[in-house]
Amino acid sequence: MLRLHNTLTRKIETLEPLKRSEVSVYTCGPTVYDYPHIGNWFTFVRYDLLIRLLKHMNLKPVWVLNITDVGHLVSDADEGDDKLQVGAKREGKTAWEIAKYYSQYFLDGLDRLNISKPTYTPKATDHIGEQIDLIQRLESADYTYIIDDGVYYDTSKFSKYADFANLDVDEQQAGVRVEFNPQKKNSTDFALWKFSKASEKRDMEWESPWGRGFPGWHIECSAMLLKYLGKTIDIHCGGIEHIPVHHTNEIAQAEALTGKPLAKIWMHTNHISIDGQKISKSLGNTILLEDVEKRGFSIMALRMLVLESHYRTQSKFTWENVKAAETRLRSLYNLAELRWQTVSDNDSGPINYEEYIHLDITKPLLDDLNTPKVLANISQHESLISENLVTHKSKPSFLKYLSAIDDCLGLDLMKQHDISLEQKDLIIKRNAARVDNKWAASDRLRDQLKEEGVGLRDTNYGSIWYRY
């Protein structure tokens, strides 16, 4: 069974799904006001690894990945330009246009990285009614108060507020760097509904029982989670930075109303760093998918790079290691291409692929998603498998092995096609030339294949081709 680190208990725990064959998963999605950088993508690939593993275990994940398309405040200070508005201003468009464009870009990006399709990708703006309803229920239960700029959640009314993140609320207050609205009762209180200023007309604003305005950031996740997955879910995922604020607030909102645990397991992914610093726009070190391609690397190499570190460690991004990942990926593609070159379609080799699938892939993944270990295991057996394929007959089992890797890691090893009949013919002609010691003709044919992206290595068992 799957064991995962649970932030709730700070321990590795066994997943025990609430339903027999279904696992509910909520992952905090992007705010769609700009292009996601590779750090953002790392996180979504990691969510995908969890989803893929659940499927591999024959469980049915019900996965909600929300799209935050409501602008939220750039800062908690009163000056409330929101991120969507900032994006809109920058590009001379409306907040709605910005949200639409970057939502689509994000969804396309999921495909480019071969990330599984979530069961639901609800947008915050499509659930304003549900959010208002939740706030009303919190209001009825006496968890809210109203000040000049909005409706706030009174965190002092939720006794377990500090538990999840082990917060020392008083000490936190001492170190804060921003100006709070002085009307707030507690420093940790947060907005459920923000009022539009009477003087301004926002691109995104709605009528509510408390007046014209827009929802706070945290309430959207609670509203969509409750709507699509219910009061208690199996796994709630998010970036590590959400522990003290966003997820703490989600728990406060939902559990205050339901009286039940919001999630059984909280899984948090760590960040990647560049040159020892986090990735952020203000530091000017963001890298986009397009930048990866501009440097001549494939998007799948980036996916490989994600797999090379554990989701809970703060890993380091370097171009040198994107190259290393690309090389490693290529080597696996070459291995996969041997499926077109096996001696026979029968199964009689000495390798127990079922065992490899279990020990090399499934087992380390079930142990808190240890992808580096999986890659190490695969690499360790690569030479043996490679040699076995050209000397023995084990194609059906080998195909199962490749499928297992693709299912769990999403590297698309099975995507490449066989080489063409013409190319195969060139290989036959070259070998005929070699038999006749016609080395010039032989090399000419090899060069021709090379131009078409096909390399050759001559072995005792014949010429093996591989793609560049």
Partner RNA sequence: GGCGUCGUGGCGGAGUGGUUACGCAGAGGUCUGCAAAACCUUUUAUGCCAGUUCAAUUCUGGUCGGCGCCUCCA
Residue 30 CB neighbour total at 10 angstroms:
22
Please give the structure tokens belonging to residue 415: 């995507």
Nearest to RNA of 60, 382 (CB atom): 382
Nearest to RNA of 86, 146 (CB atom): 86
Residue 272, φ and ψ in degrees, nearest 5: -100, 155
The structure tokens 């999986």 sit at 374
What DSSP designation does 367 have?
Answer: B
Nearest to RNA of 83, 202 (CB atom): 83
| Nearest distance from C-beta of residue 352 to RNA, angstroms | 19
| Nearest distance from C-beta of residue 43 to RNA, angstroms | 4
Single-letter amino acid code for the residue at 459: T
| Nearest distance from C-beta of residue 359 to RNA, angstroms | 13
C-alpha 168/C-alpha 146 separation (Å) is 25
| Nearest distance from C-beta of residue 92 to RNA, angstroms | 21
| Nearest distance from C-beta of residue 408 to RNA, angstroms | 16
Nearest to RNA of 218, 395 (CB atom): 218
| Nearest distance from C-beta of residue 295 to RNA, angstroms | 14
Is there a contact between 64 and 119 (Cβ–Cβ < 8 Å)? Answer: yes
Nearest to RNA of 174, 198 (CB atom): 174
C-alpha 313/C-alpha 167 separation (Å) is 22
Nearest to RNA of 198, 440 (CB atom): 440
Nearest to RNA of 3, 231 (CB atom): 3
Residue 311 CB neighbour total at 10 angstroms:
26
C-alpha 250/C-alpha 224 separation (Å) is 11
Question: β-strands 190-195, 150-153: how paired?
Answer: antiparallel
Task: Give me the torsion for CA of 45, 51, 54, 59, rounded to 10°.
Answer: -170
C-alpha 331/C-alpha 324 separation (Å) is 11
| Nearest distance from C-beta of residue 19 to RNA, angstroms | 27
